[in-house]
Chain A
Amino acid sequence: MIKKKIIMLGSFAVGKTSLIHQFVHSIFSEKYQTSIGVKIDQKIVNVDGTEVNLLLWDIHGQDDYQKIKPAYIMGSSGCFIVIDGTRRASLDVGIELIEMAQKTAPNAAIIILINKFDLKDEWDITDDDIDNLKGQGFDVIITSAKTNYAIDDAFHSIARKMINK
């Protein structure tokens, strides 16, 4: 079996934990995120006949008061950068985190998740922004943790990307 470490990065309240909730069954309480800054979940996915054991590091959202510990990023094979479509500021944080991830885990496959598709009407992020990200070579997937939209695709995509890398 292949095991991979995936980290979830993003600004606070972008829906990282909600995305994971839709995807996995957790055994750890979310209080760990506020205490040590990370919570671990697990999901086994099948990618083209290969079972991949994904260890998801749901890292506390970065803000002015809490910085992400680089040690949590180190060794990750995949990285979700989660952006709240309704908050443009989360895009800026996401871009900072992309740089951080690329620096700390240079081999990690990165996928940008623009979350809260269910609130599309309230989005601050435009299609140009998305195209811009895609233009930089990033995979961008629009998701909704609330409606479970494209979450499964996102995890399978990153798993496939990690295996094929």
Chain B
Amino acid sequence: MQESKENSGFFGSLSEVKLNELRKMIIGLGTEDLSRLAVLINDPEAFSEEISDLLPNSIKLMLEKGKVSYDELIPIIETALKDSVKRNPHTLSDILFPVMLPAIRKAVADDIRNMINSLNTTLEHGFSPKRMGWRFKALFSGVSYAEIVLSHAYIYRVKQVFLIHKQTGLLLSSVSDSDDSVTKNDDMVSSMLSAIKDFVQDSFTVDDVNELDTIKVGQFNIWIEQGPGAIIAAIVDGDAPSGLRILLKESIEKIHLKFSYHLESFEGDISVFEKTTPFLESCLVSEQKEKKKRKPLLLIFILLIILGFASYQAYLSIVDYIKFNKLEKELGSHPGIVITDDDGINGKTIFEGLRDPFAIDPYIVAMNYDIDTSQVGFNLKPYISLDEEIILKRADAKLSPPNSVTLRFEDGTLFISGEANETWVNAVKINYSGIPGIMNLDISGLNSMVSRKVVNRACLSIEQYFFVFKYNIVELSEAQEKKFSSLINEVNTVLDFNFAQDSVPVIIVIAHTSYEGNPEANEKIAFDRAQQFINLMINAGIPMEVLVPKTDFIEDINEAFPVRSVSFKVIYSKPEDL
């Protein structure tokens, strides 16, 4: 206490001012500073107030220096938020209300607008044949109609995605789906986009939540999604679905979550934003439409022409095939022609086989089918046909019959009928056997035209003959036998020729006698003599039925035939009269 007093006395001798100076020299703080520190320590509210100015900078520095990371802060904040919601959900909802309401309103408005667009698109094609086809496809494939519609209605491709610093308009990062960039200069286009966005925002009286979100440039749509520090702009080729908007929103949110500090403190160094590439690349989506197959009209036209030409050629080929088939059949049916093969050479059908020279000319047959020599050829080796028709033709050619003669061939026999002269008949008799196929000759139906005179002459000649016999003896002498033989020839000549169908020659054998003595006996003897002579003629081959015996009494001595002679007379009589 004494010491205290002494001290007090020592320090008390010093002025307050000097003490202050001394204190400041020792600890660097004056009375005011110490008083302020005392207040801060003793008053939590004042201390909090003081720290509130320092804390943001401290956190910022800690983040910069890596002493603390967002990943470390996130669980703390999340836990705090969860606890807050558990304790009193209204607190957080009251805090978020001013933020959430416009955001919800905007999201709902976006969805309604997208729905209307989608509905418009659907209605536009709703009753088209294409849509009906989709419905059938859905019915049979098991895939829902909505999925099929989506796969066809939204055909798009995100060509490029830009991440633009919102405040400066500088391009932070960009990705493209190919090496070919849609834009001329990404940096300038990004800044210009930012300028346009600002221009629109400034020029129209709109709420802060209603920002420029789409720019249409020709076939491209630029979809813009804005965050507090950056803008994501996607250049879309075609009509993208609303899902892309959600994707862009998610990407910009993720980028802000990871790079919010860098966005806020951006000074122009874009290297850190290279790490945003995966987020941007996730926006490079596309939906490939089933490629609409253009109808290749020209190709179809050409194919139709080719098809038509081919069909025509096929038709011609079929017609030709039928024609040639018929020709082949007909050729085969013609006697004297045998077709063994056919072959196509240089567009020409060549028939091979055999042909009798007397067969029909195959080119004539071909002409009946409108087939000319440019289309068909025949390589037919000659042969001798034994076909009846060909034999008959050959006989006709060989024998050269007169018009009055008809030839007929049957079973190896050549039948000749009609009228022909003896010379020709004789020639036929000689030549017929040389004709292949003819085994026999039948000329029974043939009349000799030239024999009429011969027959007449023969008749007269026969009537000139007479044979004188001794009493009651009919026997030919040696001299008479030659005469008899000549007679027989003459008779045969007459018998061989028929003048008419209704009459036949009859040889009347007349035995001459006289009235001297007993006429009746003479007549009987004469008749016997005629009969005996007839027997001789029969023996010589003369048919019995054409021989008629007759007796004749000589009354005048100057008559041509002597007594006991036999003469002849030729008459023509109907067969029934014989």
Chain A hits for B192, CB < 8 A: 28, 32, 40
Q: Shortest beta-carbon distance, A152 to chain B, in Å?
A: 20
Cβ-closest chain B residue relative to A37: B199
**Contact A38 to B195, CB < 8 A, known contacts A5-B169, A55-B169:** yes
Complex Cα distance A52/B170, Å? 12
Asked if B188 contacts A74 (CB within 8 A), the reply is: no
Q: Is B196 an interface residue (CB 8 A)?
A: yes
Asked if A3 contacts B187 (CB within 8 A), the reply is: yes
Chain A hits for B202, CB < 8 A: 69, 71
Complex Cα distance A19/B266, Å? 28
Give residues of chain B (151-183) contacting chain A, Cβ–Cβ below 8 Å.
165-171
Q: Is A23 an interface residue (CB 8 A)?
A: no
Give residues of chain A (46-98) contacting chain B, Cβ–Cβ below 8 Å.
52-53, 55, 57, 69, 71-72, 74-77
Q: Is A42 an interface residue (CB 8 A)?
A: yes
Chain A hits for B199, CB < 8 A: 36-38, 69, 71
Q: Shortest beta-carbon distance, B282 to chain A, in Å?
A: 24
Asked if B196 contacts A4 (CB within 8 A), the reply is: no
Query: Chain A, 143-165, contact with B by CB distance < 8 Å: what is the 0/1 string?
Result: 00000000000000000001000
Q: Is B270 an interface residue (CB 8 A)?
A: yes
Give residues of chain B (238-281) contacting chain A, Cβ–Cβ below 8 Å.
267-271
Asked if B268 contacts A42 (CB within 8 A), the reply is: no
Chain B hits for A4, CB < 8 A: 170, 268
Cβ-closest chain A residue relative to B200: A36
Give residues of chain A (1-36) contacting chain B, Cβ–Cβ below 8 Å.
1-5, 27-28, 32, 36
**Contact A75 to B195, CB < 8 A, known contacts A40-B188, A42-B185:** no
Q: Shortest beta-carbon distance, B399 to chain A, in Å?
A: 112
Q: Is A41 an interface residue (CB 8 A)?
A: yes
Q: Is B184 an interface residue (CB 8 A)?
A: yes
Complex Cα distance A55/B187, Å? 8
Cβ-closest chain B residue relative to A73: B198
Complex Cα distance A41/B188, Å? 6
Asked if B198 contacts A57 (CB within 8 A), the reply is: no
Q: Is B20 an interface residue (CB 8 A)?
A: no
Chain A hits for B286, CB < 8 A: none
Interface of B is mostly: mixed
Cβ-closest chain A residue relative to B167: A75
Query: Residue B168 contacts which of A5, A28, A38 (CB distance < 8 angstroms)?
Result: A5
Q: Is B492 an interface residue (CB 8 A)?
A: no
Q: Shortest beta-carbon distance, A81 to chain B, in Å?
A: 19
Chain B hits for A77, CB < 8 A: 168, 267-268
Complex Cα distance A57/B199, Å? 13
* Residue with the greatest number of chain A CB neighbours at <10 A, chosen from B188, B201, B202, B271: B188
Give residues of chain B (182-224) contacting chain A, Cβ–Cβ below 8 Å.
184-185, 187-188, 191-192, 195-196, 198-199, 201-202
Query: Chain B, 123-166, contact with A by CB distance < 8 Å: what is the 0/1 string?
Result: 00000000000000000000000000000000000000000011
Chain A hits for B198, CB < 8 A: 69, 71-72
Q: Shortest beta-carbon distance, A85 to chain B, in Å?
A: 29
Chain A hits for B267, CB < 8 A: 77
Chain A hits for B167, CB < 8 A: 74-75
Asked if B191 contacts A5 (CB within 8 A), the reply is: yes
**Contact A3 to B201, CB < 8 A, known contacts A38-B195, A40-B195:** no
Asked if A40 contacts B191 (CB within 8 A), the reply is: yes
**Contact A53 to B187, CB < 8 A, known contacts A3-B268, A69-B202, A76-B168:** yes
Q: Shortest beta-carbon distance, A110 to chain B, in Å?
A: 16
Complex Cα distance A27/B189, Å? 10
Chain B hits for A1, CB < 8 A: 270-271
Chain A hits for B187, CB < 8 A: 3, 42, 53, 55
Q: Shortest beta-carbon distance, B174 to chain A, in Å?
A: 12
Complex Cα distance A28/B271, Å? 27
**Contact A55 to B170, CB < 8 A, known contacts A2-B268, A3-B268, A27-B185:** yes
Complex Cα distance A72/B267, Å? 17
Q: List 10 interface pairs A-B (beta carbons < 8 Å), by A numbering.
A: A2-B269, A3-B171, A5-B191, A27-B188, A36-B196, A40-B188, A42-B185, A53-B187, A55-B187, A72-B198
What residues of chain A have their CB less than 8 Å away from a CB belonging to chain B? 1-5, 27-28, 32, 36-38, 40-42, 52-53, 55, 57, 69, 71-72, 74-77, 162
Extra inter-chain contacts (10) besides given A3-B270, A28-B188, A72-B198, CB under 8 Å: A1-B270, A2-B269, A2-B270, A3-B268, A40-B192, A55-B188, A72-B195, A75-B166, A75-B167, A75-B169
What residues of chain B have their CB less than 8 Å away from a CB belonging to chain A? 165-171, 184-185, 187-188, 191-192, 195-196, 198-199, 201-202, 267-271
Nearest 8 pairs of A and B residues by beta carbon: A75-B167, A75-B168, A71-B198, A36-B199, A40-B191, A5-B168, A3-B170, A2-B268
